[in-house]
Amino acid sequence: MKHKTATHPARSHKSHTRNYRPGASPGSLELAKDEKITRVPLARLSLLRYGKEGLIEERHDIAITDCGPPETDATDITWLHLQGLPAPEQLRILGQTFGLHPLALEDVLHQEARAKIEAYDNHQFIVLNHIHRTDEHTLIIDQISFFPGKNYLISISENRDDTFESVRQRIRGMGKICTYGADYLLYALIDVIVDNGFPLLEELGDELESLEDEILDDPSREARNRIHYARRKLVLMRRAWWPQREIIAELMRDDGRFLSETTHLYMRDCYDHCVIVIDFVETYREMAYSLLDTYLSAVSQRMNDIMKALTIIATIFLPLMFITGLYGMNFDTSSPWNLPELHWRFGYIYVLGVMIMIVIGMLIYFRRKRWL
């Protein structure tokens, strides 16, 4: 599903459009005609196998037909990772090889936008949303799917950029991850997805703080627009991250069929991070709403100041207009009932002096009343 924010540079959207075929049978791995164009090139497949002694095998850009399921009693961990949008034939072969449920494969093909977890006979199916920045102003939601098994893990990321390279480096360096099973590998990958939210929130927090200073100094229209775009980003983050907390909680409620006791402790730490991320999102949402109220108050105050200045100017010129209007009545100067100042030699200077004194007196009065 795509989410765009009109034409402003700060936009947020999902990188893929979901397109179901009405009337298709459940578990169908067929695409609509307009969706087939977006599925080239094929997803890249990498294989990584490791054990307690460290990395055993690592291959990239291989065919799915070259990958077979590990032995049931194998102690090594096999990690298959598909990078990019997988084609139906890739998912079909993958499902036949590892015994994956057709409904789960259908959700991978059509890119479900909602995070979820489902349990099948011989594997689990987990969908998470990964938010990342493609440039300075664009946020992308990518779906990452996991098929964890007893001694293997299959991960599928629609983003063609490698999200889990840091985990590969830990395996190559014979880190602690090598001493645990596939459940710990799943934790490590989920932890990367969750922790990637902290830099985004830190940048957004700095942006909101700078917006607050800018609004107090000069509540411009650009500042108002930036507030709206920040709110859209927060809505996007909340929609993507809020369900993931429940997914991790559901994993922690595992009865020991998949998660070991050790991994359960680490997964609890990951859950804490997810809760912190959600708390930051909620805090920044409140901050964004308060910034909008601050902006409206600043604009209203600015308008009041403008109206106040115009009112003072009009009030000052009101007696001056009366005086000029009075002396502008050009009656017969020879009449004894006409203005005597018209016959004075310094009458014009006298009237100007009176007008200046009136202005000065009104300004002093306004100042004492604290209207200025």
What is the set of domains in the chain, with CATH numbers? Answer: 11-297 (3.30.460.20), 308-368 (1.20.58.340)
Instruction: Determine how β-strand 54-60 pairs with β-strand 44-51.
Output: antiparallel
pLDDT bin (cut points 50, 70, 90) of residue 49 is very high
CA 272, distance to chain mean position in Å, is: 20
C-alpha distances (whole Å) from 53 to each of 25, 57, 65, 162, 174 are: 46, 12, 27, 25, 7
Residue 244's CB is within 10 A of a number of other CB atoms, namely 26
Enter the pTM of the model.
Answer: 0.76
Residue 34's CB is within 10 A of a number of other CB atoms, namely 9
Q: Report, as an integer, the average pLDDT of 251-264.
A: 81
pLDDT of 133 > 50? The answer is yes
pLDDT bin (cut points 50, 70, 90) of residue 50 is very high
Please tell me the distance from the alpha carbon of residue 299 to that of residue 305, in angstroms, as a whole number.
Answer: 10
Stretch among 9-23, 54-68, 131-145 having the lowest mean pLDDT: 9-23
186, 264 contact by CB (below 8 A): no
Q: Give pLDDT, residue 10.
A: 44
> Regarding predicted confidence, which is higher, 136 or 90?
90
pLDDT of 292 > 50? The answer is yes
Q: Give pLDDT, residue 3.
A: 38
Q: Give pLDDT, residue 283.
A: 93
Which tens digit of pLDDT belongs to each residue from 81-120? 999 888 888 889 898 888 898 889 888 888 765 788 988 8
pLDDT bin (cut points 50, 70, 90) of residue 278 is very high
Angle CA 299–294–7, to nearest 5: 75
Q: Report, as an integer, the average pLDDT of 320-331.
A: 76
Q: Tell me, what DSSP letter sits at residue 74?
A: -
Residues 6+ apart with CB under 8 A from 280: 201, 205
The pLDDT mean for the chain works out to: 82
pLDDT bin (cut points 50, 70, 90) of residue 192 is very high
Please tell me the distance from the alpha carbon of residue 238 to that of residue 232, in angstroms, as a whole number.
Answer: 10
pLDDT of 343 > 80? The answer is no
Q: Report, as an integer, the average pLDDT of 179-196.
A: 93
> Regarding predicted confidence, which is higher, 221 or 136?
221
Angle CA 62–68–71, to nearest 5: 140
Q: Is residue 176 classed as helix, strand or coil in its secondary structure?
A: helix
Please tell me the distance from the alpha carbon of residue 140 to that of residue 16, in angstroms, as a whole number.
Answer: 10
C-alpha distances (whole Å) from 40 to each of 95, 110, 160 are: 20, 15, 12
Q: Report, as an integer, the average pLDDT of 42-48.
A: 87
pLDDT of 40 > 60? The answer is no
Q: Which of 71, 50, 70, 72 is nearest to 59 (CA)?
A: 50
pLDDT of 66 > 60? The answer is yes
Q: Which amino acid is at 118?
A: E
> Regarding predicted confidence, which is higher, 166 or 66?
166
309, 302 contact by CB (below 8 A): no
38, 85 contact by CB (below 8 A): yes
Q: Give pLDDT, residue 331.
A: 62
Q: Give pLDDT, residue 297.
A: 86
